[in-house]
Structure formats: structure tokens, C-alpha cells
Amino acid sequence: MLWDVELRIKDQLVTEKYLGSWPTVTIGNHNESESPDGRFFFIPTESGGVVIDAEQDFKPNHISCKGQGASSFIGNFYDDNWLIIVHRNEVILFDLLTLQQHSLDFPSVSVWWAVSVDDQHLRITYREPGGKEDKEMVVSKQTGK
């Protein structure tokens, strides 16, 4: 579902600065907006999302996804120094230390969720096309294999 929003920081309306001319966001089934330490805030958008860094004068860090963000966004969570964003055919890992992203692509399955196994691996819950049962695979956070 899409939501029209107004974003205010320190009582200032900053919606267009952070979300552009289309201030519409989506909220997934699993949504963790604020990082555990309160430094980062994630807003999912149609193009991917924006991570706001409260320690760097609320600097926006834009994240891009490969498909339509609103229709494929499942949810997100924070794991140590990572923001992990789950889409139907892609898992985006955003490094909160370097502010860089990389994606793990899953073009032949529908991803339902991901959990961190350890600092190097994710467990992906997915379904094959036409499948009715959830399956799992463990993949590298770096390569997706």
C-alpha cells in the first residue's frame, strides 16, 4: 500500500528535499525504520528508499532498487553495521559505515524474507515460480551464492 507523507525534521517541512516531487512511500510487512542506535532512519520509496543520517546533519543517502520499489518491497531490518532491504527478487545490503550499497539478485525465485545467519551469510526464505511451499537457502552477503 502506498502512503502520501509529509516529512519534517526539526519542525521544518523537508519532504521534497528527501523524497522528491512524489512524496509517496510504502510500508512492508516487516518494517524497521530506525536503527537500534537511533543514528539512521530508513524511508522506503518507489525508487528504492532514502537513509537519513542524524549524525551528519540529516544527510540523505539514496538507495536504488532494480524493480518497482512499492510493489516489490517486503521489508527491512538492521543487522550490526548493515541495513538489509528485502524486495521480491532482490536483497539490498546498505553498509552503514561506508554508506554504500550492493544487491543480491534472485531473478528466478520470489523472496519472502531474509535473516542474518552470521556476519557473512543470510538465510533467504523463498518460493519457486508456481510453488506453494517456502524453501530456504543460505547465501553469502557478498555474492548471493
Look at residues 67, 85, 81, 97 and name the one whose alpha carbon lies nearest to residue 27: 85
Total count of domains within the chain: 1
1 confidence band (pLDDT: 50, 70, 90): low
Predicted confidence at residue 6, as pLDDT, reads 81
22 confidence band (pLDDT: 50, 70, 90): low
Flag whether 114 is in a domain.
Answer: no
Question: In which element (H, E) is residue 98 found?
Answer: none
Flag whether 58 is in a domain.
Answer: yes
pTM comes to: 0.88
What residue numbers bound the domain in which 98 lies? 2-105
